[in-house]
Amino acid sequence: MVSAGLDTDVAVIGSGFGGSVTALRLTEKGYRVTVLEAGCRWDPGSLPATNWNLRRYLWAPRLGLRGFQRLTLVKNIFVLSGAAVGGGSIVYANTLYEPLDAYWSDPHWAHLSDWRSEYTTYYDQAKRMLGVAEVPFTTPSDDVLRGVADDLGVPETFHPTDVGVWFGQPGVRTGDPYFGGRGPDRVGCIRCGGCMTGCRFDAKNTLDRNYLFLAEQAGAEVAAERTVVDVLPRCGGGWRIVHERSGAWIRRDRRETSAEQVVFAAGTLGTQKLLFTLRDRGRLPRLSPALGSLTRTNSEAIVGATARRVPDTSTVEDAAPRGSGHTGTTGEARGYAAGVAITSSIHPDEHTHIEVVRYGEGSNAMGLLATSMVDGGGRIPRALRFAITILRRPVAFLRSLQVRRWSERSVILLVMQSFDNSLRMIRKRGLFGHRLTTRPGHGEQNPRWIPVANQAARVAARRIDGDAVGSVFEATINVPTTAHLIGGCPIGGSPESGVIDPYHRVHGHPNLHVCDGSAITANLGVNPALTITAMTERAMALWPNRGDEDPRPAPGSLYRRLDPIAPRAPVVPSHAPAALRWDACRTEAAGRTRTSNPSDDPQG
How much is the pLDDT for 430?
77
Q: What is the DSSP letter of 538?
A: H
547 conformational bin, left if phi > 0, alpha if psi -120 to 50, beta if neither: left
Pairing of strands 65-66, 59-60: antiparallel
**Higher model confidence: residue 602 or residue 220?**
220
> Rounded to 5 degrees, what are φ and ψ at 491?
-75, 135
SS3 content of the chain, % helix, strand, coil (to 5): 25, 25, 50
Instruction: Tell me the average pLDDT of the chain.
Output: 92
Q: Please, which pLDDT band fits residue 2 given cuts at 50, 70 and 90?
A: low
**Higher model confidence: residue 596 or residue 549?**
549
User: Per residue in 61-111, pLDDT tens?
Assistant: 999 999 999 999 999 999 999 999 999 999 999 999 999 999 999 999 999
How much is the pLDDT for 591?
36
Can you tell me the mean pLDDT for 229-235?
A: 96
Q: 8-585 architecture in CATH?
A: 3-Layer(bba) Sandwich (3.50)
Cα–Cα dist 499/275, whole Å: 10
Cα–Cα dist 221/224, whole Å: 10
Q: Would you say 284 and 508 are in contact if contact means Cβ atoms under 8 Å apart?
A: yes
User: Per residue in 172-197, pLDDT tens?
Assistant: 999 999 999 999 999 999 999 999 99
How much is the pLDDT for 429?
85
Q: Would you say 54 and 67 are in contact if contact means Cβ atoms under 8 Å apart?
A: yes
How much is the pLDDT for 170?
96
Q: Would the pTM count as exceeding 0.85? A: yes
How much is the pLDDT for 599?
35
299 conformational bin, left if phi > 0, alpha if psi -120 to 50, beta if neither: left
| Count of alpha carbons within 13 angstroms of residue 419, beta-carbon side | 18
Q: Give one DSSP letter per residue of 85-146, joined into a string.
A: TTGGGGTS--B--PPPHHHHT-TTTGGG--HHHHHHHHHHHHHHHHTEEE--S--HHHHHHH
Instruction: For the chain, state the CA radius of gyration.
Output: 23
At a CB cut-off of 8 Å and minimum separation 6, what does 600 contact? 111, 493
pLDDT at position 444 over 90 = no
Reduce the DSSP state of residue 555 to 3 states and report it: coil
What proportion of the chain, given as a percentage, has pLDDT over 90? Answer: 88
User: Per residue in 140-176, pLDDT tens?
Assistant: 999 999 999 999 999 999 999 999 999 999 999 999 9
Catalytic residues, by residue number, are: 484
How much is the pLDDT for 333?
75
Cα–Cα dist 183/151, whole Å: 45
Q: Please, which pLDDT band fits residue 3 given cuts at 50, 70 and 90?
A: low
User: Per residue in 209-218, pLDDT tens?
Assistant: 999 999 999 9
Q: Give one DSSP letter per residue of 482-534, joined into a string.
A: ES--B-SS-B-SSTTT-SB-TTSEETTEEEEEE-SGGG--S--SS-SHHHHHH
Question: What amino acid is encoded at 69 in this protein?
Answer: Q
Can you tell me the mean pLDDT for 268-290?
A: 97
pLDDT at position 419 over 80 = yes
Cα–Cα dist 598/413, whole Å: 41
